[in-house]
């Protein structure tokens, strides 16, 4: 029986109620953060800790992530290195060595640059890229393979119910299988059913914007440069990918646009859509062509009022959703995985129950401040830049230029984005659990 076929109800401890079964974890949702959490815990504890990841999307494998790409910051990259995964991820990763920020309108013939990152003094180690762009499909494939190799049970069905008790959480899956575990991790997305069932509130709102993503081929080498063009409707980001394709070079775009304008912008034929992209993409990288997409996704901001309930921890989008302009959504989720793995491991090594409130409170305290701060920062930047006010334009451009002339302040911003500050979880510092 394969790893994706074994059901929690088939686990021997489900019938006997032995302590080892009640020390297990069940993760609802097979996203990047939850798979990383599962791999980290199994690598640290081996057969002593049973870990199951349940998600009906597992049937589709890594292919369901095709066409997306993410910025993996330096801290999460070090975590992947510590887990032995980075050599397998690196062939799909492109170092982001420079970030160029401009502020203009779509029709402006010149896009003045107000801020750049990437002179080598802004990362903790000179010359270290502050991020790598990684395509989602190969990243998912590596994590799924690593989970199987580590002994994580991958279960291709959803979680129907999770009922907490004083000593265990009783979980029932959509296929009727059931078992008791010490802790359930809700990583089932922004509309988390487990979060709702636990009565955890959600604070947030929808933006009048959509994020349009696509993979672009282009004739000239990006040389590891990322571009963030702030336009009145929202930022247009060009993010470097590994070379390839008919034109030789590739980038991912994340284009924020007013939702009301999306049907007109993307509703034409392929040539018309490419022309709209080219107006914003510019000509610096030469001729362009569409490789994948575009697809549009409504944008939201939201944070759970708590990251925990009785024997339940929220992870990833179930805990927080932010605007994509800083590319930090995945990194927040991975930082949460590192913090939760550390809290659970600390309890297990003392022979304690990993699902107690003390363990989950330590996890929440480790992540809540940084999460709220990042959400506030991205929301504020979006509001500041997604407009065409002349007064605001002059103010923000002055501020960008000021930051560009202050290396210490630039190092602070890179440290925030890279998760390489003191007090961060051990895995993000490249240290073992």
Taking a C-beta distance cutoff of 8 angstroms, is the pair 430, 79 a contact? yes
Torsion over CA: 98, 103, 105, 110 (sign)? negative
Cα angle vertex 325, ends 226, 240, to 5°? 20
Tens of pLDDT along 272-282? 999 999 999 98
Q: Please name the residues in contact with 183: beta carbons below 8 A apart, sequence gap of 6 or more.
A: 25, 26, 169, 311, 312, 313, 344, 354, 355, 359, 360
Least confident of 284-293, 353-362, 363-372, 385-394: 385-394
3 state SS of 317: helix
Asked whether the beta carbons of 134 and 76 are under 8 A apart, the reply is no
Rounded to whole angstroms, how far apart are CA atoms 71 and 150? Answer: 25
Residue whose C-alpha is closest to residue 96's, from 143, 68, 131, 47: 131
What is the share, in percent, of the chain residues with pLDDT greater than 90?
68
Name all domains of the chain by residue range, CATH numbers in brackets: 8-64+136-204+302-383 (3.50.50.60), 69-133+207-300 (3.30.9.10)
pLDDT tens for 144-192 read 999 999 999 999 999 999 999 889 999 999 999 999 999 999 999 999 9
207-265 pLDDT, tens per residue?
A: 999 999 999 999 999 999 999 888 888 889 999 999 999 999 999 999 999 999 999 99
Q: What is the pLDDT of residues 404-424, one digit of tens each?
A: 555 544 555 555 555 555 468
Q: Which residue in the block uniquely carries the two structure tokens 């080498």?
A: 221
Q: Does residue 226 contact residue 271 with C-beta atoms inside 8 Å?
A: no
**CB neighbour burial string for 409-427, b if at least 16 within 10 angstroms, e if fewer:** ebeebbbbbbbbeeebbbb
Where does residue 263 rank: exposed (0-12), middle (13-18), buried (19+ CB within 10 A)?
Answer: exposed
């Amino acid at each position: 029986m394969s790893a994706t076929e074994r059901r929690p109800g088939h686990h021997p401890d489900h019938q006997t109620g032995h302590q080892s079964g009640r020390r297990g974890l069940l993760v609802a949702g097979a996203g990047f953060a939850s798979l990383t959490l599962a791999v980290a815990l199994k690598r640290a504890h081996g057969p002593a800790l049973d870990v199951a990841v349940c998600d009906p999307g597992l049937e589709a494998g890594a292919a369901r992530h095709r066409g997306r790409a993410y910025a993996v910051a330096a801290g999460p990259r070090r975590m992947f290195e510590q887990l032995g995964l980075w050599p397998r991820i690196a062939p799909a990763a492109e170092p982001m060595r420079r970030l160029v920020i401009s502020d203009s309108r779509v029709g402006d013939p010149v896009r003045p640059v107000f801020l750049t990152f990437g002179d080598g003094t802004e990362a903790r180690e000179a010359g270290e890229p502050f991020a790598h762009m990684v395509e989602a499909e190969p990243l998912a494939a590596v994590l799924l393979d690593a989970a199987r190799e580590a002994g994580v049970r991958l279960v291709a069905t959803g979680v129907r119910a999770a009922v907490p008790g004083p000593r265990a959480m009783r979980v029932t899956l959509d296929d009727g299988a059931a078992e008791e575990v010490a802790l359930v991790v809700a990583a089932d997305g922004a509309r988390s059913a487990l979060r709702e069932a636990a009565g955890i509130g959600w604070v947030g709102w929808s933006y009048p914007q959509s994020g349009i993503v696509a993979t672009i081929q282009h004739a000239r080498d990006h040389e590891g440069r990322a571009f963030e063009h702030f336009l009145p409707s929202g930022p247009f980001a060009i993010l470097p990918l590994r070379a390839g394709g008919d034109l030789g070079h590739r980038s991912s775009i994340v284009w924020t646009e007013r939702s009301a304008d999306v049907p007109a912008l993307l509703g034409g034929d392929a040539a018309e859509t490419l022309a709209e992209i080219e107006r914003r993409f510019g000509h610096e990288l030469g001729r362009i062509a569409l490789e994948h997409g575009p697809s549009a996704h409504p944008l939201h901001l939201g944070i759970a009022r708590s990251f925990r309930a009785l024997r339940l921890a929220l992870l990833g989008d179930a805990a927080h959703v932010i605007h994509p302009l800083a590319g930090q959504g995945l990194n927040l989720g991975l930082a949460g995985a590192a913090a939760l793995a550390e809290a659970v491991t600390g309890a297990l090594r003392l022979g304690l129950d990993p699902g107690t409130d003390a363990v989950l409170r330590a996890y929440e305290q480790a992540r809540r401040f940084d999460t709220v701060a990042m959400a506030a920062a991205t929301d504020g930047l979006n509001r500041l830049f997604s407009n065409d006010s002349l007064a605001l334009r002059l103010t923000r451009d002055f501020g960008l230029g000021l930051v560009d002339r202050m290396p210490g302040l630039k190092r602070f911003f890179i440290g925030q984005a890279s998760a390489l500050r003191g007090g961060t979880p051990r895995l993000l510092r490249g240290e073992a659990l």
